Amino acid sequence: MTGLAALQRRFQAGLIAGDLSGLAGLVRAPAGLAVHAHAARAMLVDALADNHPKTLHWLGGESFTALALDYVALTPSSSWTLADYGADFAEYLARTCAGDPEVAELAALDWALRCAFAAADPPPGDWARAPGLNWDGLRLALAPGAALCRLTTNADEIWAAIPDHPVAPRLLAGTVTVLVWRDALEPVFRRLADSEAGLLRRLSTGAAFGAACDACGADADRIGQWLAAWLRAGLVVPRV
C-alpha cells in the first residue's frame, strides 16, 4: 500500500469511527474535523436507511440509527456508490439483535429486493426453445438479481404489512424459503413450497437439471409448471 493510500484509509477510518485524536496533525484546520466526521457518518446511516426502508420502519428511527452508527463505525464504504452500502448489514443485525431474529430477516429481504431492482435485465428466454436442448444435463443459474432467502420468522408477512397492517413477529415451525426477483420494474417475492425451493437451490449451486428434478421429490407435471413460470418471469438462465 502506498503512503497516500495508507493515509487515506487512516483518515477514512478516523472519520467514520468518530475517533479524531490521530487526525488533527493531518489537516490544516483540525477544528473542522468533527463536522466532516458527523457528515460522513450521517451519509452512511442515510444510505443504510435508504437501502433498508422496511427495517427502518420496523425498528423506528432512534433504534435504527443507533444500530446503523455502530455498524458504520465497523464498516467503511468500499464502493464508489452508496447504493452498494450495507451488503452485510443483515448479518450484523443477526449478531446484535439475536433475540429478535425478524429484524435481520427483514433487513435481508430489504437488501435482496434492492439488489433485484438494480440488477441487469436477464437475457431473453429464447434459449429454452433451442432444438435438441439436453434438459437432463442442462445446468441453470438464477437470473441476475434473483435470490433465495431462508427465513425462520414471518419476516415476509411483516414486510408486506408495513406500514398499514402491523403483524406481530413469530418464529416459524421450521425454515421457509422466499424467492426474490424483479417482475418488469418491480421487485417482488413469494414463499416457495419446500420441493420448489429445493429444486431452485440445487440448480443455483450447479446441479444438472435432471438430477436436481429427481432429488426434489415433485412429479414431472409440477416441475413443468414451475419451469414454465420461471421462464415467463426470466428467473433462470443457462449457467455460463
CB 226 within 8 A of CB 126: no
pLDDT at position 218, please?
A: 96
Helices (H), 79-134: 89-96, 101-118
pLDDT at position 202, please?
A: 97
2: its cell numbers: 502506498
Phi and psi of 69, rounded to 5°? -65, -40
pLDDT at position 240, please?
A: 79
139-198 per-position pLDDT tens digit: 999 999 999 999 999 999 999 999 998 899 999 999 999 999 999 889 999 999 999 999
Which residues, including other chains, have CB under 8 Å from residue 152's CB and lie 6 or more apart? 101, 105, 171, 172, 175
Going from the first residue of the chain to its last (240 residues), give the mean pLDDT of each consecutive group of 10, the final group possibly shorter. 57 55 53 57 93 97 96 86 92 98 98 95 83 94 96 98 93 97 93 97 97 96 96 90
Q: Which residues make beta-bridge pairs with 182?
A: 187
CB 85 within 8 A of CB 79: yes
CB 169 within 8 A of CB 102: yes
Q: For residues 43 and 35, what is the distance between their CA atoms, to the nearest angstrom?
A: 12
pLDDT at position 184, please?
A: 85
Which residues, including other chains, have CB under 8 Å from residue 4's CB and lie 6 or more apart? none
